[in-house]
């Protein structure tokens, strides 16, 4: 603040000191000339050092604010617990803007103050010009349209950036495809590398072309407006020459006017720059506040506590769901009850809505109509964050966290991340302990070949994901969405046998519900309740025996798979195996 206050009059005082120096030098007054020269040097030093220090401090503060904002932005994104928000183009664009503008928000914290200081410096210069000749104040009027035109064109440049966010995101995705080993492998086999490179190049060219149009238009207006100002500047100098008598005073005034008008142009450019930075910062600040508002709405719903155990179960009450850009509903008027302590299997053809139902159950989507209750409590009143803290899941599209083994598996329960014994139990339950024990550093092995670690196979990655789901010891809901798609038949049998044990133990402990989606009927038949989904609704529901007796869709699918395996019935684990301990 002190730096800004001292710097404001420095340039104007420099002009005055130079004028005085001209006069004293012409009068051959050595002592006064030295004083005037020292004053001019001091003013110049204050202006130069102050400007440099202010710029450096501004950038340091902006960098510090940017780092803090990155953490806050990630935290706010995490609070938006439903996938609908994360998958919406508006949200994605907003996050894209924030990722590229954290420093601008940091600059915004000082840009308003800096803009005020710039305006004060400008006013000080104009006052000094008026002391030489009042008509010189007309230069301020000429500056007004120059500033307005520049600000208007800067806004058009910002608009071009916003309008190309989606295309920029697509081009970045195409670039990442070329650097991802799995994607690169398929691209080379399909001979699509050049095609995708051309596509990315076309998108980037379109983005650059659109931004360039806005930038070139801004440049043209800048040149035109500043050309007008230069003409007026020259006219002002001629006016000063014609109006004054030749002598010491006129020479000093000329030097003062040249110094002040040159500074006037700099102050005008600084004003435009500060307004531009302020406008950009305000734009990014709007995106940040909108993100914070989204997160606040999510937290506002988290008002009612989750029960410590289930006594009734989970129920869908007339639930329908459509994706934002979907033509038809995926689920229609679904009313089902999952009893507390039960193991529920969901089957159906591809596209029947199985995974969507699971995501609704996990609070990752909000029903388009109807509602879900947990022991009578509406899920939308409980809040996604609280509910998701009491569930565990292994999804078909699992994440590959390329960290150390202990972190990749242990993050399923962050409170036990330092508990090697618990992580080992989870790895055993997920059938991953065998290959983890053979890794060079065991639990400390990085799962990333680029960091001197190891690269896992698809089946090994799925075992790590399964182990992650086994980390929580007291969930109310355990979800397995095609958890063995990448495993061989033997590993699948081992995992499901252990899961059935785990399901019964959880049911006895706190009435937890286990939900399984699987294409293997040897697994499905062990469930207490089997739901058959078709056309967005439950077409059949019951136990394995009940559905076989019904001789409907389930029975047909079951017999079809039995024939495919060349046996009367798909193999099932021994009855009663689930009563033994997990590990």
Q: Do residues 462 and 484 make contact, with C-beta atoms less than 8 angstroms apart?
A: yes
Distances (CA, A) of 66 to 100, 211, 287, 289, 343: 10, 25, 14, 15, 48
Angle at 303 between CA 297 and CA 304, to 5 degrees: 145
Q: Is the Cα torsion angle 17, 23, 26, 30 positive or negative in sign? A: negative
Q: Do residues 393 and 83 make contact, with C-beta atoms less than 8 angstroms apart?
A: no
Question: How far apart are alpha carbons 90 and 105 in whole angstroms?
Answer: 20
Domain edges within the chain? 1-300, 399-473
Contacts for 102 with CB less than 8 Å, ≥ 6 apart: 65, 66, 67, 69, 70, 73, 284
**What CATH superfamily is the domain 399-473?**
P-loop containing nucleotide triphosphate hydrolases (3.40.50.300)
How many other CB atoms are there within 10 angstroms of residue 574's CB atom?
A: 7
**Strands 313-321, 369-374: pairing kind:** antiparallel
Contacts 24+ apart (CB under 8 A), 164-170: 164/206, 164/207, 164/210, 164/211, 165/93, 165/96, 165/97, 166/89, 166/93, 167/203, 167/206, 167/207, 168/96, 168/207, 169/92, 169/93, 169/96, 170/203
Question: How far apart are alpha carbons 178 and 149 in whole angstroms?
Answer: 42
Question: How far apart are alpha carbons 516 and 94 in whole angstroms?
Answer: 36
**Residue position matching structure tokens 């030097």:** 255
Over residues 61-107, the pLDDT tens digits come to 666 766 777 777 777 777 665 676 676 667 777 776 676 665 566 55
Number of helices (H) and strands (E), helices first, in the chain? Answer: 21, 10
Supply the DSSP symbol for 404: B
Q: Do residues 320 and 369 make contact, with C-beta atoms less than 8 angstroms apart?
A: yes
Question: Which residues, listed in sequence order, are joined to residue 313 by a DSSP beta bridge?
Answer: 339
Q: Which residues of the chain have pLDDT under 50?
A: 245-248, 568-583
Distances (CA, A) of 496 to 394, 429, 435, 449, 508: 13, 10, 19, 30, 18
Q: Do residues 484 and 518 make contact, with C-beta atoms less than 8 angstroms apart?
A: yes
Question: Which residues, listed in sequence order, are joined to residue 374 by a DSSP beta bridge?
Answer: 314, 377
- Please give the pLDDT value at position 583: 27
Fold of 1-300: ABC transporter transmembrane region fold (1.20.1560)
Q: Do residues 123 and 263 make contact, with C-beta atoms less than 8 angstroms apart?
A: no
Q: Do residues 110 and 277 make contact, with C-beta atoms less than 8 angstroms apart?
A: no
Over residues 335-387, the pLDDT tens digits come to 999 999 999 999 988 888 888 899 899 888 889 899 999 999 998 888 777 88
Question: How far apart are alpha carbons 405 and 414 in whole angstroms?
Answer: 14
User: Based on the number of CB atoms within 10 Å of its own CB, is 542 exposed (0-12), middle (13-18) or buried (19 or more)?
Assistant: middle
- Please give the pLDDT value at position 290: 77
Name the nearest CA neighbour of 461 among 517, 510, 419, 402.
402
- Please give the pLDDT value at position 74: 75
Question: How far apart are alpha carbons 126 and 359 in whole angstroms?
Answer: 65
């Amino acid at each position: 603040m002190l730096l800004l206050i001292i710097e404001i009059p420095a340039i104007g005082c420099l002009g005055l000191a130079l004028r005085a120096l001209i006069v004293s030098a012409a009068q051959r007054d050595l002592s006064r000339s030295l004083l005037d020269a020292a004053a001019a040097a001091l003013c110049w030093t204050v202006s130069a050092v102050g400007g440099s220090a202010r710029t450096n401090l501004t950038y340091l503060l902006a960098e510090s604010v940017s780092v803090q904002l990155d953490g806050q932005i990630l935290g706010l994104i995490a609070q938006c617990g439903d996938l609908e928000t994360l998958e919406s183009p508006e949200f994605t664009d907003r996050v894209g803007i924030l990722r590229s503008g954290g420093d601008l928000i940091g600059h915004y914290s000082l840009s308003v103050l800096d803009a005020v200081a710039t305006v004060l410096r400008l006013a000080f210069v104009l006052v000094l010009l008026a002391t030489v000749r009042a008509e010189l104040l007309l230069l301020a009027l000429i500056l007004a349209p120059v500033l307005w035109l520049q600000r208007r064109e800067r806004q058009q440049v910002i608009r071009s950036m916003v309008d190309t966010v989606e295309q920029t995101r697509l081009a970045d995705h195409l670039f990442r495809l070329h650097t991802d080993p799995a994607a690169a492998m398929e691209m080379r086999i399909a001979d699509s590398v050049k095609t995708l490179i051309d596509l990315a190049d076309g998108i980037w060219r379109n983005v650059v072309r659109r931004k360039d149009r806005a930038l070139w238009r801004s440049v043209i207006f800048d040149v035109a407006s500043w050309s007008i100002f230069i003409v007026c500047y020259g006219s002002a100098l001629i006016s000063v020459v014609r109006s004054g008598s030749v002598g010491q005073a006129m020479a000093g005034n000329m030097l003062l006017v040249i110094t002040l008008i040159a500074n006037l142009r700099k102050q005008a450019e600084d004003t435009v720059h500060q307004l531009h930075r302020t406008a950009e910062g305000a734009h990014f600040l709007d995106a940040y506040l909108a993100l914070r508002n989204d997160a606040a709405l999510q937290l506002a719903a988290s008002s009612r506590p989750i029960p410590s155990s289930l006594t009734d179960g989970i129920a869908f009450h007339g639930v329908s769901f459509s994706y934002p850009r979907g033509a038809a509903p995926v689920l229609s008027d679904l009313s089902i009850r999952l009893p507390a302590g039960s193991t529920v299997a969901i089957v159906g053809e591809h596209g029947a809505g199985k995974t969507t139902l699971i995501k609704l159950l996990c609070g990752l989507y909000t029903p388009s109509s109807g509602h879900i209750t947990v022991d009578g409590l509406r899920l939308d009143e409980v809040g996604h964050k609280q509910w998701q803290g009491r569930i565990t899941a292994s999804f078909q599209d699992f994440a590959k966290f390329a960290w150390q083994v202990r972190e990749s598996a242990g993050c399923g329960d962050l409170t036990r991340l330092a508990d090697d014994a618990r992580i080992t139990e989870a790895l055993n339950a997920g059938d991953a302990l065998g290959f983890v024990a053979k890794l060079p550093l065991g639990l400390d092995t990085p799962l990333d070949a680029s960091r001197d670690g190891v690269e896992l196979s698809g089946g090994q990655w799925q075992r790590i994901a399964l182990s992650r789901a086994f980390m929580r010891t007291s969930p109310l809901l355990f979800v397995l969405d095609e958890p063995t798609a990448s495993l061989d038949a033997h590993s699948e049998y081992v995992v499901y046998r252990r899961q059935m044990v785990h399901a019964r133990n959880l049911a006895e402990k706190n009435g937890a519900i286990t939900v399984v989606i699987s294409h293997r009927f040897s697994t499905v038949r062990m469930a207490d309740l089997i739901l058959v989904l078709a056309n967005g609704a439950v077409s059949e529901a019951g136990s394995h025996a009940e559905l076989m007796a019904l001789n409907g869709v389930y029975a047909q699918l079951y017999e079809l798979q039995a024939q495919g395996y060349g046996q009367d019935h798909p193999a099932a684990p021994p009855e009663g195996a689930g009563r033994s301990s997990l590990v």
